[in-house]
């Protein structure tokens, strides 16, 4: 029924002279997500508007679904695009449109005209009034409400054509990918970290990821699960480069050398150190974690501080003040939840003390880590040298 | 070196079986119901397979039905017989250590208004005969018990059970899930008092998706699949001719020199058990080596998580199972291990090792050696 979509974007509009950078990034990402969709699409920028036009037959539902995964889009409006052939032709197009969309429904409406083409023979109020009157006459079930209409019928008189639309399908919001550099996500198989990656990516950040694999304590299936999760997140963030780090030896060394109630904190400090090294090597400007205050012993405020102690790069923790239910809601929305709850990796608990410290002191942790001095640097280097890189798309 | 010690999960197809199946698929691909020669050719495989199983089990050809495997055979036997005999009574009996493909149909029927008794087992995994005797009543229409348990290899006293059941109620049907026993034991249903018996192809070096159900001609049974009325209407659907040819060929090869091969399996099992006994803090579950099934050994390793040990063995190319492979996708505790009264702390520390006629001594030795090395390492890292 529609061959075109008008794309509304929010914050980009206010970015001054950089605006074209943001718009270009948005268009590039739209092309990427529409590529696998059935149909041929033309994306055009015109005076602060972006249009997607489909040529011939295309998959309407999939097109909408794909565009709904493009950060930066706040609304997708299925639109009727017409050349200006005089007011009578416009009126006829509007009536056709109303018949197709709202035949026999009891609703209120309002006509909202924007006259970008200042040469149009009628003024905006004149168009509103004339079209509103004709609609009222033709549709006995519709009535006018200028304050809170059910249907806001937009008529946009542009310099080259006219837009007619009334439906705005919400987009994800946020900023176009690639407008805010790249960051390294610490991805586990859990519920939180994929959500954290999604949320930061939504602000225009490209995401790479690192997963700490500990065979035989974590299985190949657990690794596959992380790859699958990255795949789900990549639907929003574009391709993800997943670094798989073998962490077993480091884990066992820490176990052998350090107090057991500090195992988790020290382990996490090494995960951060390795992630940071990877980030620096691959041009990432920050780390992303799924930490949330108080969720587990290693995420109390003192624990977070102790973990953060080893980081020089900024660490983004978008879920820091989220309750679990809120995280789960996002996980369900982006379709990672079902994968996250698969039970493949409870074996790592071997390296978790029954009663881990909840108020670690940074000084003490640093002292405990001295026991690792002899070998740890070589082990970290070895872990980085033997990383496996998986391109997830 | 690779050591595949997970033969109770599935076995490698014998080469002869694969070759035969390829031929059937490429050349004799007809539909056995077709009237032309192509159909006749395909039908010949069905007849030959039926004849083989009838001879092997000492039953009649018309008592052999082909299914898609153990799960379907069990479902058809249990649901089909329970439905057909509900006028005679609505009481069913099974044991606490059955495979999910028996347990779940039973529970389904319970939800449909049947009464269900689950018999307890002793610490070796043998069903209590006293409990069985007590459970069978005038109302009992079906008893279903497995011949060999898939997790610990315990063997049930099938003929004794049949005698007890039929003494108390001659009309009660006795179904035996012989999926883990067939191909290792010479089973004669009529002699042992078995009315229905399930067999699976892929546990005996045949193809997946193939199975047999023996249904004694005196049994009243209803179909659970409806369609083109193949196999006398009890199992509609075009016969899986390559699968049927395959399962018959596999069975034939298994039963050649059976006693000799089973003796060899017991020697392997003894070798394995001996190696295990030398390891510290381990325990072999179930029956004594020579009394249990020749191909299944269940071992508990105190202080080691079975999944971790499984993956560590996997790194060495040794493939085994934690609990039962069919249910290991969920972290549920094994019902069988619970039923034999295993200590709680060992439930998550138990592995199953299962052999086949193709298992070699080197595989056994590699596994023992691997365990010896790994237990030392893994036991150092325990949760404190």
Contact A216 B305 (CB under 8 A): no
Q: Which pLDDT value is given to residue B329?
A: 44
- Banded model confidence at residue B332, pLDDT cuts 50, 70, 90: low
Reading the block at residue A166, the tokens are 């009334």
The Cα B323–Cα B337 span in angstroms is 8
Interface test with B, best of A214, A216, A218, A248 (most B CBs within 10 A): A216
- Tell me the pTM: 0.85
Q: Which pLDDT value is given to residue A348?
A: 60
Q: Is A18 helix (H, G, I), strand (E, B) or coil?
A: helix
Cα–Cα distances (Å) from A91 to A79, A132, B83, in that order, read 16, 10, 69
DSSP E strand boundaries for B96-243: 115-119, 140-146, 173-177, 196-200, 211-215
Nearest to A346 among B310, B311, B331 (CB): B331
Rounded to 10 degrees, the C-alpha dihedral B231/B236/B242/B247 comes to: -60
Q: Does A249 contact chain B (CB < 8 Å)?
A: no
Q: Which pLDDT value is given to residue A353?
A: 81
Chain B closest-CA separation from residue A351 CA (Å): 6
What whole-number percentage of chain A has pLDDT above 70?
Answer: 97
Q: Which pLDDT value is given to residue B345?
A: 87
Q: Does B168 contact chain A (CB < 8 Å)?
A: no
- Tell me: the pLDDT tens digits for B81-108? 999 999 999 999 999 999 999 999 999 9
Q: What separation, in Å, do the N-terminal and C-terminal C-alpha atoms of chain B show?
A: 35
Q: Does B217 contact chain A (CB < 8 Å)?
A: no
Q: Using the predicted structure, report yes or no on whether residue A367 has a pLDDT greater than 80.
A: yes
Q: Using the predicted structure, report yes or no on whether residue B324 has a pLDDT greater than 70.
A: no
Chain B closest-CA separation from residue A98 CA (Å): 51
Q: Is B353 helix (H, G, I), strand (E, B) or coil?
A: strand
- Banded model confidence at residue B327, pLDDT cuts 50, 70, 90: very low
Nearest to A216 among B308, B331, B383 (CB): B308
Contact A343 B305 (CB under 8 A): no
* Least reliable range by pLDDT among A10-24, A125-139, B245-259, B363-377: A10-24
Q: Which pLDDT value is given to residue B325?
A: 42
The catalytically annotated residue of B13, B254, B326, B367 is B326
Q: Which pLDDT value is given to residue A358?
A: 87
| Interface TM-score (ipTM) > 0.85 | no
Q: Using the predicted structure, report yes or no on whether residue B184 has a pLDDT greater than 70.
A: yes
- Tell me: the pLDDT tens digits for A156-201? 999 888 999 999 999 999 999 999 999 999 999 899 999 999 999 9
Nearest to A216 among B315, B380, B384 (CB): B315
Q: Which pLDDT value is given to residue A217?
A: 86
What whole-number percentage of chain B has pLDDT above 90?
Answer: 93
Q: Does A343 contact chain B (CB < 8 Å)?
A: yes
Reading the block at residue B328, the tokens are 């290991």
Q: Which pLDDT value is given to residue A346?
A: 52
Q: Does A219 contact chain B (CB < 8 Å)?
A: yes
Q: Is residue B52 within 8 Å of residue B248, measured between CB atoms? A: yes
Chain B closest-CA separation from residue A213 CA (Å): 13
Reading the block at residue A288, the tokens are 């992303």
Q: Starting at the earlier edge strand, list the strands of the sheet with A240-246.
A: A315-316, A286-288, A182-186, A206-213, A240-246, A388-392
Q: Which pLDDT value is given to residue A48?
A: 74
- Banded model confidence at residue A112, pLDDT cuts 50, 70, 90: very high
Contact B314 A216 (CB under 8 A): yes
Chain A closest-CA separation from residue B378 CA (Å): 10
Please state, rounded to an integer, the average pLDDT across all residues of chain A.
93
- Residue A198, φ and ψ in degrees, nearest 5: -60, -45
Nearest to A216 among B312, B330, B331 (CB): B312
Q: Does A355 contact chain B (CB < 8 Å)?
A: no
Please state, rounded to an integer, the average pLDDT across all residues of chain B.
95
Burial class (CB in 10 A: 0-12, 13-18, 19+), B329: exposed
Q: Which pLDDT value is given to residue B70?
A: 98
Q: Using the predicted structure, report yes or no on whether residue A255 has a pLDDT greater than 60.
A: yes
Chain B closest-CA separation from residue A314 CA (Å): 33
- Tell me: the pLDDT tens digits for B152-176? 999 999 999 999 999 999 999 999 9
The Cα B18–Cα B10 span in angstroms is 15
Q: Which pLDDT value is given to residue B15?
A: 98
Q: Which pLDDT value is given to residue A13?
A: 60
Which residues does chain A have within 8 Å of residue B308's beta carbon, measured at their own beta carbons?
216-217, 347, 350
Nearest to B305 among A252, A256, A350 (CB): A350
- Residue B222, φ and ψ in degrees, nearest 5: -115, 150
Reading the block at residue A185, the tokens are 């996500």
- Tell me: the pLDDT tens digits for B256-289? 999 999 999 999 999 999 999 999 999 999 999 9
Which residues does chain B have within 8 Å of residue A215's beta carbon, measured at their own beta carbons?
311-312, 315
The Cα B99–Cα A321 span in angstroms is 46
The residues near B226 (Cβ < 8 Å, ≥ 6 apart) are: B236
Q: Which pLDDT value is given to residue A275?
A: 98
Q: Using the predicted structure, report yes or no on whether residue B326 has a pLDDT greater than 50.
A: no
Position of tokens 């560590």?
B312
For residue B326, indicate whether it is catalytic.
yes
Q: Using the predicted structure, report yes or no on whether residue B220 has a pLDDT greater than 70.
A: yes
Q: Which pLDDT value is given to residue A345?
A: 53
Q: Does B305 contact chain A (CB < 8 Å)?
A: yes
What whole-number percentage of chain A has pLDDT above 90?
Answer: 83
Q: Does A353 contact chain B (CB < 8 Å)?
A: yes
Burial class (CB in 10 A: 0-12, 13-18, 19+), B290: exposed
Q: List the one residue out of B176, B179, B156, B177 whose CA is nearest residue B10.
A: B179
- Tell me: the pLDDT tens digits for A42-74? 999 887 789 999 999 999 999 999 999 999 999
């Amino acid at each position: 029924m529609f061959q075109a979509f008008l794309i509304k974007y929010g914050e980009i509009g206010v970015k001054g002279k950089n605006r074209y950078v943001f718009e270009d990034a948005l268009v590039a990402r739209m092309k990427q997500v529409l590529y696998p969709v059935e149909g041929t699409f033309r994306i055009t920028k015109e005076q602060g508007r972006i249009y997607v036009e489909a040529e011939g037959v295309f998959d309407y539902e999939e097109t909408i679904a794909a565009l709904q995964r493009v950060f930066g889009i706040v609304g997708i409006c299925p639109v009727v695009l017409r050349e200006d052939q005089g007011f009578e032709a416009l009126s006829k197009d509007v009536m056709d449109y109303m018949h197709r969309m709202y035949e026999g429904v009891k609703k209120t409406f309002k006509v909202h005209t924007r006259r970008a083409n200042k040469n149009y023979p009628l003024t905006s109020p004149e168009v509103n009034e004339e079209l509103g009157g004709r609609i009222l006459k033709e549709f006995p079930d519709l009535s006018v409400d200028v304050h809170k209409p059910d249907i806001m019928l937009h008529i946009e008189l542009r310099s080259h054509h006219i837009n007619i639309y009334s439906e705005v399908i919400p987009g994800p919001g946020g900023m176009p990918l690639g407008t805010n550099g790249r960051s390294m996500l610490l991805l586990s198989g859990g519920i939180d970290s994929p959500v954290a990656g999604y949320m930061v990516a939504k602000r225009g950040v490209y995401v790479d990821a690192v997963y700490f694999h500990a065979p035989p304590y974590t299985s190949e299936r657990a690794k596959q699960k992380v790859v699958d999760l990255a795949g789900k997140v990549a639907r929003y963030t574009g391709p993800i480069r997943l670094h798989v780090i073998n962490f077993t030896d480091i884990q066992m060394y820490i176990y052998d050398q350090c107090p057991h109630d500090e195992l988790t904190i020290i382990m996490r400090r090494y995960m951060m150190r390795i992630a940071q090294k990877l980030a620096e090597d691959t041009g990432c400007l920050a780390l992303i974690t799924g930490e949330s205050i108080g969720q587990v012993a290693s995420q109390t405020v003192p624990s977070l501080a102790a973990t953060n102690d080893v980081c020089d790069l900024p660490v983004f923790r978008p879920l820091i003040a989220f309750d679990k239910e809120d995280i789960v809601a996002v996980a369900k929305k982006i379709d990672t939840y079902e994968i996250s709850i698969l039970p493949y990796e409870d074996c790592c608990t071997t390296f978790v003390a029954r009663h881990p410290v909840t108020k670690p002191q940074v000084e003490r942790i640093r002292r405990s880590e001295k026991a690792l001095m002899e070998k740890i640097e070589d082990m970290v280097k070895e872990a980085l040298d033997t990383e496996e890189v998986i391109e997830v798309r | 070196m690779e050591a595949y010690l997970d033969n109770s999960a599935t076995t490698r197809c014998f080469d002869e079986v694969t070759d035969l199946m390829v031929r059937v698929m490429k050349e004799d691909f007809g539909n056995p119901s077709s009237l032309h020669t192509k159909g006749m050719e395909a039908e010949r495989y069905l007849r030959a397979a039926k004849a083989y199983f009838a001879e092997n089990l000492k039953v009649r050809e018309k008592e052999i039905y082909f299914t898609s495997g153990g799960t379907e055979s069990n479902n058809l036997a249990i649901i089909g017989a329970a439905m057909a005999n509900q006028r005679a009574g609505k009481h069913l009996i099974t044991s606490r250590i059955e495979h999910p493909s028996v347990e779940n149909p039973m529970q389904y029927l319970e939800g449909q208004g049947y009464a269900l008794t689950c018999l307890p087992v002793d610490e070796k995994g043998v069903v209590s005969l006293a409990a069985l005797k007590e459970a069978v009543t005038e109302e009992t229409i079906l008893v279903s018990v497995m011949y060999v348990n898939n997790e610990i290899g315990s063997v049930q006293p099938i003929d004794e059970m049949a005698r007890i059941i039929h003494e108390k109620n001659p009309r009660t049907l006795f179904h035996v899930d012989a999926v883990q026993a067939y191909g290792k034991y010479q089973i004669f249903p009529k002699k042992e008092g078995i009315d229905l018996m399930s067999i699976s192809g892929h546990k005996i070096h045949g193809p997946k998706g193939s199975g047999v159900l023996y249904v004694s001609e005196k049994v009243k049974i209803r179909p659970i699949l409806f369609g083109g009325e193949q196999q006398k209407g009890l199992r509609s659907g075009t016969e899986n001719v390559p699968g049927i040819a395959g399962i018959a060929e596999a069975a034939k090869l298994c039963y050649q020199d059976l006693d000799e091969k089973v003796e060899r399996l017991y020697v392997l099992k003894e070798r394995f058990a001996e190696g295990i006994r030398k390891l510290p803090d381990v325990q072999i579950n179930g029956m004594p080596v020579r009394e249990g099934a020749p191909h299944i050994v269940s071992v508990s390793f105190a202080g080691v998580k079975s999944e971790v040990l499984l993956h560590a063995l996997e790194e060495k190319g040794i493939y085994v199972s934690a609990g039962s492979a069919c249910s290991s996708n969920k972290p549920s505790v094994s019902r069988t291990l619970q039923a034999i009264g295993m200590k709680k702390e060992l439930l998550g520390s138990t592995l199953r090792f299962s052999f086949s006629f193709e298992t070699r001594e080197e595989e056994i030795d590699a596994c023992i050696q691997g365990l010896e090395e790994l237990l030392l390492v893994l036991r150092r890292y325990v949760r404190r």
